[in-house]
Amino acid sequence: MSDRRAGAAGAAAPLGGGLIDVTVDVAGAPRHVTVRFPADEPVLVMDLDIGGFGSPMDIAPPDGVELGATPTFGAEELAAQGFAEPLQLTELPPGWALADAEVTGLTMDGSCSMLVLTYDNVVDPEASLGLEVSNEGCAVHEALQVGQRLGGRWRGDLMTYADDFGGFVAATDGTSRIGLASTLGPDDLVPFVLSLGPFDPLAQPSLTVGDTVPVLGAPATDGD
Amino acid sequence: MRRGLVIGAAVGLVAVATAAGVRALDGPAEQGRSETAGGATSTTAPPTEEEAALARRAFAGAARALEQAGSFTYEGVVTSSAAGPSAPWPGPAGEAIAVAGQVSLPGRSTERASGAAGVTDTVVSGRGVWQRASADEVGIESSPWALVGQGVPALGLAGLPEWLSQSVDAVPVGGPPDGGLTVAAVCPTAEPARRARRRPSVAG
């Protein structure tokens, strides 16, 4: 079953902008919706009739237990956790979008934290892009060489995973240490590094924070 | 290579697609378009201000109607043109997946997606997403549910009122034979969707 679900999962992947058609009846209620993503060459097309307005429904978790709301965080919360310079990717190629965000502790006493942002790609569900941000001086990537000039304020190192998984970049600007891992090659990751900018919660609503992995079945493999 | 469960079915698809619509398209949605949904007639001429205002009101009114109703149902097909392993659905690329669901605002929905490769049920309730899958409609009822996501904000068509109200560049594109109006717009940014899956290590 898991393979089947995984195959359907790419459904969750976004592209950058789509078109929505809606047909409303004479009372203004939507009766038909068509959504195309992306707009120019749709990969996904949804064609749905809408009805049953106001019908009584009893939708509950299968086990009857509601999950609590996950807290959100923004720049202030990250500053309170000691982040000197919380960062995010400010530019993404078509097909990529932020899928998850969390803060994890790097040290047992909580003196160092790491912001982890995960990006997904709709065209290729197997593609991945993960960004980890921590303060210079307490980063898990501290031991990596970051002597190569990448551009802008960033110096770092480019690596290729031995198992052909993709590439990895460790970089620093003197304030933050970042790690960027992807199924993309390391050279392809440099533009992502150069796009790093201030973390903007308004552009990324409803991000989750906590010591636990926010999605079951997805254990962290950070090695921390 | 990572593997893992991902929130599937249209419930996740629609939400994420909308979520990822972070860059508005250039120009009015309908300029140059030649086909529309629901048997509506097409138009290629830029809309007048009056037409654009009418379309914006239609989108806003549709969103309001859903919110006031508090619940609705949906039924239709979802098609992916992606090929190979990138296809977002079980089965071959281009296959139409039948979906039927219910939405109770805010944030609760159920959906059944049926395709050549099987059947998947999805429940979104609050911050949790559960799924079960089977090879057929008979087996699905006895299949176990699995929590595949949590901390997920309002996935699926529960976000439809928001998508409608936040769409931009709305234009009228025609009307169905029995009255009413068909309007089109560009999907905006919404919630990033969460996908249950393994996250690659960046620790090297």
Q: How many helices (H) and strands (E) does chain A have?
A: 3, 12
Identify the pLDDT of residue B39.
38
Q: Which residue has the tokens 């078109």?
A: A19
Q: Return the SS3 of B143.
A: coil
User: Is B34's pLDDT higher than 60?
Assistant: no
Average pLDDT over residues B75-100: 65
Q: Does A141 touch chain B (CB under 8 A)?
A: yes
Q: Number of residue pairs across A and B with CB atoms under 8 Å?
A: 420
Task: Report which of residues B98 and A160 the model is more confident about.
Answer: B98
Averaged pLDDT for residues B142-160? 68
The residue with tokens 């040290």 is A107
Which residues in chain A are classed under CATH 3.30.200.100? 75-198
Give CA–CA dist B184/B173, Å, rounded.
7
pLDDT band at B70 (very low <50, low <70, confident <90, very high): very high
CB B158 within 8 A of CB A101: no
d(CA A39, CA A130): 27
The yes-or-no verdict on residue B201 having pLDDT over 50 is: no
What pLDDT is stored for residue B62 in this prediction?
95
- Which residue in chain A is spatially nearest to B155 when comparing CA positions? A12
This prediction has a pTM of 0.54
**Are A214 and A208 contacting, i.e. CB atoms less than 8 angstroms apart?**
yes
Closest to B122 in 3D by CA, of A191, A9, A86, A123: A9
Mean pLDDT of chain B: 65
pLDDT in tens, chain A (224 residues): 222 222 222 222 233 457 889 999 999 999 999 988 766 777 778 899 999 999 999 888 887 766 544 445 677 778 877 889 989 888 877 667 777 777 766 665 556 778 888 887 766 777 888 898 989 887 666 667 778 889 899 998 888 876 667 888 889 999 999 988 888 888 888 989 998 988 875 554 333 333 322 222 222 333 33
Residue ranges of E strands in B42-107: 71-80, 96-104
More confident residue, A80 or B196: A80
Cα(A85)–Cα(A103) distance, rounded to whole angstroms?
A: 14
A206 touches chain B (CB under 8 A): yes
Q: Answer yes or no: are the C-beta atoms of B101 and B160 closer than 8 Å.
A: no
Residues found in chain B: 204
pLDDT score of A172: 92
CATH of domain A75-198: 3.30.200.100
pLDDT at A164: 64
Residue B3: CB partners within 8 Å, gap ≥ 6? A6, B197, B198
Closest approach of chain A CAs to the CA of B42, in angstroms? 12
Q: Which of A2, A3, A40, A44 best probes binding to B when mutated, by most B CB atoms within 10 angstroms? A: A44
Percent of chain B with pLDDT over 70: 57
Q: How far is CA A60 from CA A63, B43, B73, B76, in A?
A: 8, 43, 16, 23
- Predicted confidence at residue B100, as pLDDT, reads 92
- Measure CB to CB from residue B23 to each of A9, A17, A21 and give the nearest one: A17
